[in-house]
Amino acid sequence: MNTLLLNLLATTDGVRPSTTWFPENASTDNNVDPLFYFIFWICAFFLVLNAGLMIYFAIRYRQRNKQGAAHGHTHNTAMEVTWSVIPAIILAIIFIWGFRGFLDMANPPQIAPEHEIAVNGYQWAWDFTYPNGETVRGVGAEKPALHVPAGVPVRLTLTSSDVLHSVFIPAFRVKKDVVPGRVTQLWFEPVYDASRETVALDVPDPADPNQTVTLHPNEYDLFCTEYCGQAHSLMITKVYVYSPEEYATWYASMTVTPPTTPLIELGSNLYVQKCATCHTIDGSANTGPTWQNLYGSTHGTSAGPTLADDAYIIESIRNPGAKIVDGYGNNMSAFPNLTDREIRAIIEFMKTISDNAEADEDLTYGDLNDDGTLKTEGEADGSGDDAGGGDAPAENE
């Protein structure tokens, strides 16, 4: 009992909510809350009616001497028809209201092509690919987030690489299953409200990759709501809603990676974002082999013993089924959106956790060519304009 009381009282680490129902709404089109409150008050009325009558009868007609039995009507058709018809009418209203709302949610208005975002779910993260061909990278160790402009309708096109997922953004009141083998979609029109809590996001300045600018979007949650395996509950990320001006800045910054970014740091971030769900770096086995001491070692694979060198790692990322390490399944999806430079960054990161290789800790993103090779002395400087690597992701890998 002590534990129980402690737990009941220990609410200090949880945020006590300000409103009883629903999180704040952040979209223009809200077909959920009004109908909810309509049904809610109907429910409240009938619950109070039923429970009230039940308790009143139990007290009022309580029998003490156990003697005898009660007489009374055994039926009353008029009354029974009445209490069948009244709920039917209420239900019809609820149905029509709900269906109209649903049609509204299902049929998007005219949506500009630049506001179509391709969302691909995989165990256990989301890829958000924008019309410029870029896939969102997470900031630091965070998973990639969804960034949307306020004031315009946005459409998400949903696909899955493996199992069922479901996109749920409570603040926009939208949800849609992500079904492998199908393409589903959902839309919303976000609202930006500067008076609400905002977060400060530093992004590379599109005008000058060596600088950063700070943006102030509203931050909301995005959940996966269709159970998808081990880390289902970690398949969550943030939605950032920008004012139109800030969104333009963010959109332009997508293609910019600051040339000063240390390669190992970039590789480490990419590992956390893309690889950590299946590959450990502490030597324990997971869905895939561990990366500890992987680089430079030789393993038995489906194509015979193979040395894990640069070429092997590039192949394993581009074409994961080519050489499968013995004892593991052919489970990995290809990562066509990783650029050659980024794969190089991952390789540098792998070197740091392998006894078989020495990593060059001084390398930065700016030291690489688009194809991932090191720049020669002559190229090394003055290539800032190109450093962002506006390289469109290798589409046909």
Partner 1 sequence: MTVADKPITTDIYGQPVEPKPGNDYITHSKGVLSWALTLDHKRIGLMYLVAVLAAFAIGGFFAIFLRTMLLFGSKVGETRMGFEVGAAAWNDFYNQAFTLHGAIMVFMFIIPAIPAVLGNFALPLQLGAKDVAFPRLNLLSFYCWCGGSALLAAILFGGILSAFGIAMPQALNGLDTGWTFYTPYSTTTQTGVVLATLGAFILGFSSILTGLNFVATIHMLKPKGMGWFNMPLFLWAMYATAVIQILATPVLAITLLLLCAENLIGIGVFDPKLGGDPVLFQHFFWFYSHPAVYIMILPGLGVVSEIISTFSRKHIFGYKFIAYSSVAIALFGFIVWGHHMFTSGQSAMINAIFSLLTMSVAIPSAIKVFNWLATMYHGKIRVETPMLYAMGFIWLFTIGGLTGLFLAALSTDIYFHDTYFVVAHFHYVMVGSTLFAFLGGMYYWFPKMFGRMYNETWGRIGWAFCFVGFNATFFIQFIAGSKGMPRRYATFVDDFTWYHHLSTGGSYILTIGLFIVLANWILAKRGRRAPANPWGGNQLEWHTNSPPPHANFEYDPVGTDPYHFHDWTYDEKIDGYVLDPEHDPGNPTHAPVH
Partner 2 sequence: MSDHDHDHDHPDYLAHHFDTPDQQFEAGKLGMWLFLVTEVLMFGGLFCAYALYRANHPDIFAYAHGFLDWKLGAVNTAILLASSFTMALAVRASQLGQQGVLILMLVLTLGGGFGFLGIKYVEYTSKFGHSIWPGQMNLYYPIADIKLYQEDADGNRITDDQGNPIPITREMQLREIAFVEFETLAIKHHYTPLGVDAEQYYLDMGVRERLEEHGHAEHFDHVFHHGGHGTHHADEADHGSHDGDEGHGGDDGHGHAGHEDAHAAADDPAYDYEHELALIPVAGEVPARSKVPAPAYASTGLSPSFAHDADEAEKPGLVETLGAPDLSHAKHYIPYAMQPEGVQRRIHLFFQIYYCATGLHALHVLIGMGCITWVLGKSLAGAFTAEYNVPVDIVGLYWHIVDLIWIFLFPLLYLIH
Residues 163-222 that bind partner 2 (CB under 8 A): 179, 181-185
Kindly state the smallest distance separating residue 268's Cβ from partner 2, in Å: 27
Q: Which is nearer to partner 2, 324 or 350 (CB)?
A: 324
Pick the closest to residue 143 from 119, 163, 159, 166 (CA basis): 119
The rounded distance, in Å, linking the Cα atoms of 389 and 368 is 10
Kindly state the smallest distance separating residue 181's Cβ from partner 1, in Å: 3
Kindly state the smallest distance separating residue 190's Cβ from partner 1, in Å: 16
- Is the Cβ–Cβ distance between 127 and 120 less than 8 Å? yes
- Is the Cβ–Cβ distance between 38 and 101 less than 8 Å? no
Count CB-CB contacts under 10 A for residue 90. Answer: 15
Q: Does 284 bind partner 2 (CB under 8 A)?
A: no
* Strand pairing report for 237-242 and 218-224: antiparallel
- Is the Cβ–Cβ distance between 289 and 328 less than 8 Å? yes
Q: Which is nearer to partner 2, 124 or 220 (CB)?
A: 124
Kindly state the smallest distance separating residue 182's Cβ from partner 2, in Å: 5
**φ, ψ for residue 374 (rounded to 5)?**
-70, 140
- Given partner 2, partner 1, none, residue 22, with its beta carbon under 5 to 8 Å by kind, binds partner 1
Stretch that binds partner 2, among 97-105, 240-248, 328-336, 380-388 (CB under 8 A): 328-336
Q: Does 159 bind partner 2 (CB under 8 A)?
A: yes
Kindly state the smallest distance separating residue 136's Cβ from partner 2, in Å: 18
Q: Which is nearer to partner 2, 161 or 225 (CB)?
A: 161
* Strand pairing report for 146-149 and 298-301: unpaired
Q: Does 334 bind partner 2 (CB under 8 A)?
A: yes
Tokens 């800790």 label which residue? 361
- Is the Cβ–Cβ distance between 148 and 114 less than 8 Å? no
Q: Does 23 bind partner 2 (CB under 8 A)?
A: no
The rounded distance, in Å, linking the Cα atoms of 17 and 168 is 20
Q: Report how far apart, in Å, the C-alpha atoms of 273 and of each of 112, 166, 286 are.
A: 30, 19, 16
Q: Does 292 bind partner 2 (CB under 8 A)?
A: no
Q: Which is nearer to partner 1, 19 or 195 (CB)?
A: 19
- Given partner 2, partner 1, none, residue 161, with its beta carbon under 5 to 8 Å by kind, binds partner 2
Q: Does 321 bind partner 2 (CB under 8 A)?
A: yes
Tokens 């800045």 label which residue? 249
Q: Which is nearer to partner 2, 184 or 261 (CB)?
A: 184
- Is the Cβ–Cβ distance between 183 and 157 less than 8 Å? yes
Residues 6+ apart with CB under 8 A from 203: 212, 213, 215, 249, 250, 253, 256
| DSSP structural state of residue 9 | H
Q: Which is nearer to partner 2, 157 or 225 (CB)?
A: 157
Q: Which is nearer to partner 1, 23 or 305 (CB)?
A: 23
Kindly state the smallest distance separating residue 206's Cβ from partner 1, in Å: 31
Q: Does 333 bind partner 2 (CB under 8 A)?
A: yes
The rounded distance, in Å, linking the Cα atoms of 53 and 49 is 6
**Furthest C-alpha separation in the chain:** 107
Kindly state the smallest distance separating residue 319's Cβ from partner 2, in Å: 9
Pick the closest to residue 252 from 131, 165, 143 (CA basis): 131
Q: Which is nearer to partner 1, 103 or 380 (CB)?
A: 103
Kindly state the smallest distance separating residue 301's Cβ from partner 2, in Å: 13
Kindly state the smallest distance separating residue 28's Cβ from partner 1, in Å: 15
Q: Does 161 bind partner 2 (CB under 8 A)?
A: yes
Pick the closest to residue 180 from 156, 162, 158 (CA basis): 162
Q: Which is nearer to partner 2, 187 or 220 (CB)?
A: 187
- Given partner 1, partner 2, none, residue 78, with its beta carbon under 5 to 8 Å by kind, binds none
